[in-house]
Amino acid sequence: MQHILITGGAGFIGSHVVRHFVKKYTGSTIVNVDKLTYAGNLLNLTDIEQEKNYHFVKGDIVDGDFVFSLFEKHQPDTVIHLAAESHVDRSIANPMAFVHTNVLGTVNLLNAARHHWKDEPDDKRFYHISTDEVYGSLGDEGLFTEETPYDPRSPYSASKASSDHFVRAYWHTYGLPVVLSNCSNNYGPNQFPEKLIPLFIHNIIQKKPLPVYGKGENVRDWLYVEDHAVAIDAIVRNGKLGETYNIGGHNEWKNIDLIRLLCKIMDEKLGRNPGTSEGLITYVKDRAGHDLRYAIDASKVKDELGWVPSVTFEEGVSKTVDWYLANDEWLRQVTSGDYMQYYREQYEER
Ligand code: NAD
Ligand code: DAU
């Protein structure tokens, strides 16, 4: 891994991955390519932006010519592909953006890698980061394994499933050296306040209603984002070509239980009376096609690569809340501009 290209490195998970690689692989160059959509923010990387082995390129992976020129200029031997439209609610409102970035953007990257690596495919690696949502929705029992058939049910998960299929097709058809992972819900610092945990932290600070979809009975498996970055590091180095690794936190929470825990922690940290934040809980119209439960069997990545999560949920939530309370300027910046328009459209009608 001499020249590592990371896509979507200004986003939530991407910024933690970029930081991890820049700090750990000081002898490698790390190029972060990001369009800087509403979800991408260079403020996420101010602590490492001056490092000699780090370079940022603003660009759109949907633009095939741009992607080819990027490969031409930086000659990556390793691609870690995270750039995506990532929010399920936005995919319900506007599916086409997800087709463009998640499907076309991924195929552009695959084409560029295939072209540039055709003479020397050895020691190259195209790592595609995907989601557990491609497996569909579980009932009360069972876990997603790498063998679970795909059953995507939202435009977001359908676009990610499509991109996963293209990545595997390039392995089988052209022998492109690929590896994939499918991860559960991440949380932690720098997550855009449209996703459950940062949205609710933001609303609790502002004493705004906490919009719980349906009855709050949906279950997600939560993983601290820095643990995901460590798993990505293990998989890109030692994952078997052509294979997929499921990554999860062994940490299932029913939404309403998680929200109550968050309310309790925030009341303590904000010095508010117990129960203050719970009083903000408001049940609203359910998300269309809302998947009931996701849960990951992460035994393959543990058995083959020795990866297990290291941050407990209590510790991770506490660190996350502390980060948002200490970074009110970050929160203010990302919630100015288009955010209020999005918020009105997403929640006022519910
Ligand atoms: P994010 O929305 O926070 O960040 C996405 C980044 O991609 C942003 O920086 C954005 O500017 C960039 N981007 C979007 N369109 C682009 C384009 N056309 N060209 C270049 N850059 C573009 O997303 P995230 O939550 O950090 O997720 C990162 C990846 O991990 C995604 O592929 C997502 O599907 C996957 N994933 C996320 C989770 C999760 O819980 N957040 C879990 C499993 C997998
Ligand atoms: O499982 C991995 C996926 O996790 C990633 O691939 C996605 O990129 C990521 O966004 C996340 O998807 P979810 O839909 O699970 O995450 P979200 O934070 O949007 O919602 C978590 C749960 O909380 C879900 O059951 C819906 C519910 N929810 C969410 C919001 C935003 C609410 O009840 N109210 C809300 O306002």
Q: How far is CA 134 from CA 86, 193, 222, 296, in A?
A: 13, 23, 16, 12
> How many CA atoms lie within 13 Å of 332's alpha carbon, on the beta-carbon side?
5
Kindly state the average pLDDT of the residues 302-324: 97
Number of the ligand 1 atom closest to the C-alpha atom of 100: 18
Active-site amino acid positions:
132-133, 156
In a domain, 147, yes or no: yes
pLDDT in tens, 1-12: 899 999 999 999
In a domain, 18, yes or no: yes
> Could you tell me the distance, in angstroms and rounded to a whole number, from the CA of residue 328 to the centre of ligand 1?
22
> Could you tell me the distance, in angstroms and rounded to a whole number, from the CA of residue 44 to the centre of ligand 2?
21
Kindly state the average pLDDT of the residues 253-282: 98
In a domain, 278, yes or no: no
Number of the ligand 1 atom closest to the C-alpha atom of 186: 40
pLDDT in tens, 18-75: 999 999 999 999 999 999 999 999 999 999 999 999 999 999 999 999 999 999 999 9
Atom 17 of ligand 1, residue of closest alpha carbon: 60
pLDDT in tens, 316-329: 999 999 999 999 99
pLDDT of 348: 86
Q: Is 221 in the pocket of ligand 2 (CB under 6 A)?
A: no
Q: Is 199 in the pocket of ligand 2 (CB under 6 A)?
A: yes
- Cβ atoms of residues 173 and 167 within 8 Å: no
In a domain, 203, yes or no: no
> Could you tell me the distance, in angstroms and rounded to a whole number, from the CA of residue 130 to the centre of ligand 1?
10
pTM value?
Answer: 0.98
- Cβ atoms of residues 212 and 148 within 8 Å: no
In a domain, 150, yes or no: yes
Domain range holding 227? 3-188+222-252+290-312
Number of the ligand 1 atom closest to the C-alpha atom of 156: 34
> Could you tell me the distance, in angstroms and rounded to a whole number, from the CA of residue 302 to the centre of ligand 1?
25
Q: Distance from CA of residue 64 to its chain's centroid?
A: 23
In a domain, 281, yes or no: no
pLDDT at residue 349 tops 90: no
- Report the CATH number at residue 31: 3.40.50.720
pLDDT at residue 350 tops 90: no
pLDDT in tens, 119-169: 988 999 999 999 999 999 999 999 999 999 999 999 999 999 999 999 999
pLDDT of 334: 94
Q: Distance from CA of residue 98 to its chain's centroid?
A: 14
Whole-number mean pLDDT of the chain? 97
- Domains contained in the chain, number: 1
Q: How many CB atoms lie within 10 A of CB 166?
A: 19
Exposure string of 273-285, with b = 16+ CB inside 10 Å and e = fewer, is eeeebeebbeeee
In a domain, 124, yes or no: yes
**What's the CA gap between 127 and 79, in Å, rounded?**
6
pLDDT in tens, 210-246: 999 999 999 999 999 999 999 999 999 999 999 999 9
In a domain, 347, yes or no: no
pLDDT of 160: 99
